[in-house]
Amino acid sequence: MRKFSALYRNEITKVVHKPLYIVFAALTVVSMLFAGLVLKLDISAGYSDNGDPQMYDTEIENLENDLKIYVEDFKQNASGMEKTLVQEYLNGDGTVDGERYNNELGYNFSLVESIPDSLAWPLGRIEYLKVLKEYFPDSQEKNLFNLGIVGISTLDSSSKLHFFNDTATRLSAIMASERYEQIKADVFKDCPHALEYFDIYTIDLTTRGIAPETYPGEKEKLKEILREADFSVYIDVMNEQVKKDESLTEEQKRIKLESNDLLRKAYRNNMSQQSWDELNEKLNMLSNYKIQLNAGKADSGRKFTADEIRKLELQISEITLGISKRASGFGGNQTGEEASRVGMIASVGASIAQIALIMLGGMIIAEEIQTGSIKTLIIAPVKRRKIVGAKFAMLVTFALVEALIVFLTLMLVCAVFGFGFAKHVFVLGGSAHAMNTVLFSLLYILLSFSEAFFAGCFAFMLSALFRNAGAAIALSMVGTFVLGESVNAIRLMGEDSIIIKHLYEVLPPANFQLQEKVFATTLQSESTNFFAILNGNFGINGNSLTVSAIYVAVFIVLFVFTAFQSFNKRDIK
């Protein structure tokens, strides 16, 4: 042990005295500070995703202006087909034949098509109704309403796929803004019946994000996940927010808290079948009501009372918010964007650290053999396994030091640029957890170093095998940066192939990014993981955290074992 310790000290001396590694450490800090500055400037430039509904008013106005251009374009250039169909419909019996629109005629509304995805939902549909009203000023309210449904459906068919993508938080904020309410009220001023349906339909669409009928076969899985999830922590954060919200009346607060409690009951571990059934029943009622409305028989169907709609809207909007928060991963005062920011800055540091680890791993054995300084080690009365062991220990130490540098720099960046230290709420193992950002960042960075450390170990192995630092570094760079992306590309190309899927899952690139598997629902960019989890795909790369961790560990052990064997057994000529 004394000799190992002596060798280890020597390795530290070598690294500390080598300017290259000091430069890399400095580069890590500078890059992260620069990334922080860029993000800060970007935010200051105007666009904000901080979740404040008021911040979206300007954006909505911009969208309205854009839509006016689309509307003009529609008036000037819309094909005769669309006009004909609309006219046919207006002259008909008032029913909507969605099949005919979408399949038989293969027709899509050019206006709808031309609206960018980011505008399509939910603003787009309001604007569409607006256009219809302007275009067919004399149409019957009922027909106008039903026609609007077609447009909405068309819009939704394209936009629902994006429901949980990066725009979810923005859209939630838009929906919650006063401006949005004003627009909606204005559009439906002369059309209360449509407004009623619009709200319900919105609720339905929103709910369909998790609604079992939208995802056949997933109902049981969803129920299971919901049963397992403990949102108590999350609900507590939500309740605190509601209590502090001065814009709400006491009555509104009471309803929201009541609604939150409903959620808590529904989503806690012991959620009963009855609770699920009650929720499901309401969803079914909505669905039936929609069908009736769609068939022009709304008046003959049961109408929701205003109170029912309000409660449902509250309840389901909370679910929506909960889902988007789960997707973005943040409760409390922090938004998904802030999580992305922390992750982005950390990833900049981790990438630099990865290069540094590859350099160290690639040189630590080969360079000594190339320069001949290995002789002073071989001639010393120490077994070779201790020499290579000390070198590996140095690699581990260097990785930890780099992780510490990244962590401290991240904290510095957050403090200097005011990115905040609010609590993170994330779902792990079916339960919600609240974690201090400092702790979260540390854990996140340590996990994100799995790839950097993997790359370092790969270079370490090549260093021992090739005894050429340049070759070891170059191959490791190619192996970890280029091949990783290539493997991802192959996976995407062969998405439908079971063989490729399974082959991909055992390859290293599929199992990196452990932090993203642990905090799968934490980062906004990982929001698609929510669906991945629903579909039984744990983690973006297909393997669960445990499996990925084992794969990564196995590969690292294999690399290190190979390096040990190669160094131990081969002659030093």
In the complex, the smallest distance separating the C-beta of residue 473 from other proteins, rounded to whole angstroms, is 18
Tokens of 183: 């627009």
In the complex, the smallest distance separating the C-beta of residue 565 from other proteins, rounded to whole angstroms, is 13
**Residue with smaller CB distance to other proteins, 75 or 383:** 383
In the complex, the smallest distance separating the C-beta of residue 375 from other proteins, rounded to whole angstroms, is 6
Helix, strand, coil percent values for the chain (each to nearest 5)? 75, 0, 20
**Residue with smaller CB distance to other proteins, 23 or 185:** 23
In the complex, the smallest distance separating the C-beta of residue 463 from other proteins, rounded to whole angstroms, is 17
**Residue with smaller CB distance to other proteins, 157 or 376:** 376
Dihedral sign, Cα of residue 424, residue 327, residue 117, residue 128: negative
In the complex, the smallest distance separating the C-beta of residue 360 from other proteins, rounded to whole angstroms, is 15
In the complex, the smallest distance separating the C-beta of residue 26 from other proteins, rounded to whole angstroms, is 18
Q: Which class for 529: exposed (0-12), middle (13-18), buried (19 or more C-beta within 10 A)? A: buried
**Residue with smaller CB distance to other proteins, 155 or 377:** 377
**Residue with smaller CB distance to other proteins, 18 or 193:** 18
**Residue with smaller CB distance to other proteins, 321 or 369:** 369
Q: Which class for 571: exposed (0-12), middle (13-18), buried (19 or more C-beta within 10 A)? A: exposed
In the complex, the smallest distance separating the C-beta of residue 464 from other proteins, rounded to whole angstroms, is 16
Please name the residue that has the structure tokens 């202006």.
Answer: 65
In the complex, the smallest distance separating the C-beta of residue 388 from other proteins, rounded to whole angstroms, is 14
**Residue with smaller CB distance to other proteins, 9 or 297:** 9
Q: Give DSSP secondary structure letters for 126-158.
A: HHHHHHHHHH-TTS-HHHHHHHHHHHHHHHHHH
Q: Give the list of residues 6+ apart from residue 459 with CB closer than 8 angstroms, or none.
A: 357, 358, 359, 360, 361, 362, 472, 473, 475, 476
**Residue with smaller CB distance to other proteins, 17 or 244:** 17
Residue ranges in 329-383 assigned as alpha helix (H): 336-363, 366-371, 374-378
In the complex, the smallest distance separating the C-beta of residue 385 from other proteins, rounded to whole angstroms, is 10
Cβ atoms 416, 327 nearer than 8 A: no
Region for 217 from its dihedrals, namely left if φ exceeds 0, alpha if ψ lies in -120 to 50, beta otherwise: left
- Least Cα distance to 425 among 545, 534, 321 occurs for 321
Which residues are near other proteins by CB under 8 A?
2-3, 6-7, 9-10, 13-14, 17-18, 371-373, 375-383, 569, 571-573
**Residue with smaller CB distance to other proteins, 196 or 367:** 367
DSSP 428: E
Tokens of 220: 């049981």
Q: Which class for 359: exposed (0-12), middle (13-18), buried (19 or more C-beta within 10 A)? A: buried
